[in-house]
A and B are shown apart, each in its own frame.
Chain A
C-alpha cells in the first residue's frame, strides 16, 4: 500500500528544473578532445602572454601523469576526457560597454533573472556574467574602480594586471594539488578576478553568474580574489545549466587570499542541472575551492547552498596561516532523485590562536546520497587553535543515504576541537503534527527544511538568503513552479 510519504516523494521527485533551456547563440568552438594543440588554441584565442602558455602546458603535462581520484563516495561511469569540448565562447562578446552586449546573450541572463543593465540590477550587487568559456559582461566596473577595486574577468586581469595574477595564481591551489585542479589549470578559459586595495571596504556584493549553454562542453573557470590588508569583500556566485541527457563536466578552481586583517566572505548558490528523476544527465561538479589567511587576524568565510549537479565533489577550505586568523564554513547540501554529493571542508591551522567553525547541513531525499567529508588539521605551531564542527544530516523518505567522514588531526596539545553530529529524519510523525495544525505537507517540508538550514542561510547576504530559501523549497516541491 503506497503511503502518503511515497506519494509525497513521488511529487517531490517530479519537480521541474526551471533553468533547463538552451539558447541558440553563435559560439566559437574548439575541436572536441584534449592535447597540447587544444591548449595552444585556447591560449591563442584568449591572446594571453607567453608565460600563461608555459603555465598551462606545465599543468597539462602534470595532469597526464595523474589518476582521477576515486576516494569520494560517489559512483559514476569513467569520464572520457577526449570526448569533451574544452572551449566554447560566444562570438559577439567583445564589447566596450554593457549596452553593446549581444541581445541574445542578454536574453539568456534576463531569463535567469540576472539583467545585465546596471539600473535593473539589485542595488548593491555587481555582476560578472560567464557564459560557457567566456565572461560576457561585468557591471559596475567604473564605480568600483573609483575605490581602487578591480572586478573583471580573469582574461582581462591576465592582460591588465599580470603582476598580481602571476604572484597569486596557483599560490593557494597549485596545479599539482589534484587531478581536477591540474586539468583546470591547463584549460581554464575565464572566471572572475577581484582585488580590493588596503583598507577598502567593498560597498557592494560582487557576484559571478556561471551559465553553461553549449552541448558536450566542459566549463573550467578560475576565480581569484585578493583582499589586501584591512579590506573587506563579499562575493557571491550562482550557476545553472540546460537540461541534457548527457553529463557535463564542470571543474572550477577558486583561490582566495586574505592579507593582514582582511575579510573575504564567499557565498555560493549552486543550482547546476541535477539530472532527471532516473538519474540521466546532470552536471559533474568537481570543484577545488581554497582560501588562505595569509596575514594576521585575517578572516575567510565560505557559505554554500548546493542544490544542483548530478555529482558534487567540493571541499571549500581555509589555510589559517596568519596568527589569530579565522576560517568558517557554512553549508547546506540538498540532494534529491539520484543526485550524489560528497562535500565538506578542510581547516588547516598553522598560525597561533587560529579559529575555525564548520556548520554543515546535509539533506537527502529520493534515492540520493549525501556525504559530509571534513578535515580539521591542527599543526604543531598552532598554539591555542580552536575548532568547532557541527555536522547534521536530515533524511526525507527511506531510499536515500547520509554519510559523515570527519577527520581530525591535532598535533598541538593546547588546541581545542569540538565535534557535534546529528542525524534526523522528516518522519510521518513530524508531518502529521504539522498537518494537524493546518499546514499542508509540502509547506510543512519547506518549513522544516528551512528551519533546519536557518543557521547557514543567515550567513548569506540578505537578498540571496531569500533566493536560497525559495530554491530549497523548489528543489523539494513538485507541484509548485
Chain B
C-alpha cells in the first residue's frame, strides 16, 4: 500500500541552524505513529514543516503526501487536502467566534473535497454532535477563537476541530502538555473515536503517559534531529523507565543500548 505520508532524508534549518538532520518516515493510512523525544530534539519543527509554517528552510529531502510534493502546496492547500495540525499553542483571535471561524474553515475544506457548503443550521447540528463527544458546552461556539480559554480548553478545542474537520492525517503537537489526567482521557477518547482505516495520526509527545490512552502502532524516538530508533509500544515504556539520558550522545555517535 502506498504510504499517506512519506518523508525522505529531510533536513531543515531554522535561522541557519540545522534542526532536522535527515528524517525518514513513512506513515500509512490507519496507523498511529508516536514521535517521542527530549526538548529541542526537533519534534515541533517536524510538525511545523509538515504544516507549512514560515521560517523553516528545507535544506534537503522531500515529503510526499498522497503522492504529491508537500512543499509545493500552500499551508491552506495542505489543510484542504486533509492535513491537520493540533497546535501546541493555539492563537487567540478576538471578535471572531468559534462558529464563524470553524464554519469558514469547514466550508473551505468541503469545497476542496467537492462537497456542498454547510449552512449555519447544518453546521450547528454537526458541531453540537462533535462537541458532545468531548463534553464541550454548546456556548463554546459563541466564544471568540481561543480567547480566554484555559490551557485545557485550548487543547480540547484543538481536538474538537479535528473531530469536525475529519482530516486524513492529523498531527498532534504535544497535545498532552499541561493537561490533567481527566482532560487527557477526554482528549484521547476523541482521538480514538476518530481512528479509522482511512486516517493516520502522528502523535508528538514528550511523555509516555498519553500513549497509555492513545495506543500507537509505531513509536519513533527523535533525538538531535534524527530518528534514532523505531519500534513498538514497548519502546515508549522503556523510554519512560530509563529517561532520555539513556540516549545521550557520546561525541558524534548516538549510543543506544540494545533492546532485549
Write the residues of chain A forming the contact surface with B, with a CB cutoff of 8 angstroms.
Answer: 3-4, 424, 427-430, 432-441, 443, 447-448, 450-455
Contacts and interface: CB of A to CB of B under 8 A. Distances in A.
A438 B109 CA distance: 6
24 contacts: A424-B94, A429-B91, A432-B52, A433-B91, A434-B93, A436-B76, A436-B84, A437-B108, A438-B80, A438-B106, A438-B108, A438-B109, A438-B112, A439-B105, A440-B76, A440-B108, A441-B76, A448-B93, A451-B93, A451-B94, A451-B95, A451-B100, A452-B94, A453-B95
Interface in B93-149: 93-97, 100-102, 104-106, 108-109, 112, 144
What does DSSP make chain A's interface, helix, strand, loop or mixed? helix
B76 A447 contact: no
A433 B100 contact: no
Contact of B85 (A436, A440, A448, A453): A436
Contacts of A441: 76
A437 B98 CA distance: 12
Which 3 pairs show the lowest CB-CB distances between chains A and B? Answer: A451-B95, A451-B96, A437-B105
Interface residues of B, number: 32
A436 B109 contact: no
A357 B224 CA distance: 56
Contacts of B78: 436
Given A429-B91, A450-B95, 7 more contacts: A3-B54, A433-B90, A434-B105, A436-B51, A438-B112, A440-B108, A451-B96
With most chain A CB atoms within 10 A of its CB, the pick from B78, B80, B108, B165 is B108
B74 interface: yes
Given A437-B101, A437-B165, A430 B91 contact: yes
With most chain B CB atoms within 10 A of its CB, the pick from A4, A436, A439 is A436
A439 B108 contact: yes
A293 to B, nearest CB: 30
A440 B75 CA distance: 9
B75 A436 contact: yes
B229 interface: no
Given A432-B75, A438-B79, A439-B76, A447 B108 contact: no
A447 B54 CA distance: 21
A455 B105 contact: no
Interface in B22-75: 51-54, 74-75
Contact of A448 (B74, B96, B109): B96
B87 interface: yes
A428 B76 contact: no
A435 B96 contact: no
Nearest to A3: B54
A17 to B, nearest CB: 27
Given A433-B90, A448-B93, A453-B95, A4 B54 contact: yes
A428 B56 CA distance: 13
A3 B144 CA distance: 28
A427 B91 CA distance: 10
Contact of A437 (B52, B79, B94, B97): B79
B8 to A, nearest CB: 23
Interface of B: 51-54, 74-76, 78-80, 84-85, 87, 90-91, 93-97, 100-102, 104-106, 108-109, 112, 144, 161, 165
Contacts of A447: 96, 100-101, 104
Nearest to B146: A433
Contacts of A455: 95
A437 B161 contact: yes
B104 A454 contact: no
A435 to B, nearest CB: 4
A396 B98 CA distance: 22
Contacts of A450: 95-96
Nearest to B75: A435
Contact of A439 (B85, B104, B161): B104
A441 B101 CA distance: 13
Nearest to B90: A433
Nearest to A392: B94
A455 B95 CA distance: 8
B101 to A, nearest CB: 7
B96 A436 contact: no
B74 A451 contact: no
Nearest to B107: A438
Nearest to B83: A436
Contact of A432 (B53, B95, B106, B165): B53
Nearest to B97: A451
A452 B75 contact: no
Contacts of B106: 438
B54 A438 contact: no
Contacts of B144: 451
A395 to B, nearest CB: 13
Contacts of A439: 76, 104-105, 108
Contacts of A453: 95
A429 B93 CA distance: 10
With most chain A CB atoms within 10 A of its CB, the pick from B52, B85, B91, B161 is B91
A455 B112 CA distance: 32
Contacts of B76: 435-436, 438-441
B95 A438 contact: no
With most chain A CB atoms within 10 A of its CB, the pick from B78, B79, B93 is B93
A179 B79 CA distance: 56
Contacts of A454: 95
Contacts of B161: 437
Contacts of B102: 437
A261 B232 CA distance: 77
Contacts of A424: 94
A430 B109 CA distance: 19
Given A436-B79, A439-B108, A447-B104, A428 B95 contact: no
A424 B54 CA distance: 20
Contacts of B94: 424, 451-452
Nearest to A426: B93
B115 to A, nearest CB: 13
A460 to B, nearest CB: 16
